[in-house]
Amino acid sequence: MKKWGKTAFMKSTGVLLSAVVLLSGCGSATSTSNSEGSGDKKTVELLNVSYDPTRELYQDFNKDFAKYWKEKHGQTVNVKQSHGGSGSQARSVIDGLEADVVTLALAYDIDAISKKKQLAEDWQKRLANNSTPYTSTIVFLVRKGNPKGIKDWDDLTKKGVSVITPNPKTSGGHVGLFSGVGIRTEKI
């Protein structure tokens, strides 16, 4: 199996990243009176518009964040989630879905939101690591025992091997898929 250095990997497969961008912060989120408190504390509701594979991650993260915020500020935060393909989610925000936080698979999905003036042009400079708190990589999931011996891109072209991929029009996964096809084409 060919080993990729970081630079070669980025050039070959494109930038697969998850960008977290605060579109409006807690102050402008929906808030309601907190029936448990004195009325001056508000319950804040945030909407995190994200891509499909992050559903479980944010379920746990949202609970931890709500606990942290309550301890630090005495304010209840309820984080609602919306999940779908990265491109579809970007389109939903562009078309009017009022997100408080957007966590998408590809920088250019965030750029599309920025181009519609719904986000500052310098969004990547607002947080550390170009507003990219984590990255993901491509993996091959195979049947138990890997009966067809799939280890690398070339193995995906073997007779009898089928590939299941996300919708390339709406998923961030298409960058890796198309880059993998490009790698294979270069070898022919």
For residue range 135-169, list pLDDT tens digits in order. Answer: 767 778 899 999 999 988 888 888 999 888 777 66
Query: Using an 8 Å Cβ cutoff, are 165 and 174 in contact?
Result: yes
Query: Using an 8 Å Cβ cutoff, are 77 and 46 in contact?
Result: yes
Pairing, β 101-104 against β 30-33? unpaired
As to burial, measured by CB atoms within 10 angstroms (0-12 exposed, 13-18 middle, 19+ buried), residue 32 is exposed
Domains annotated for the chain, with CATH where assigned, are 1-15+138-188 (no CATH), 17-135 (3.40.190.10)
Question: How far is the C-alpha of 10 from the C-alpha of 24, rounded, in Å?
Answer: 31
Question: How far is the C-alpha of 49 from the C-alpha of 42, rounded, in Å?
Answer: 22
Model confidence over 45-73: pLDDT tens digits?
Answer: 999 999 888 889 899 999 999 999 999 99
The structure's pTM equals 0.61
Model confidence over 78-107: pLDDT tens digits?
Answer: 999 999 988 899 999 999 999 998 988 888
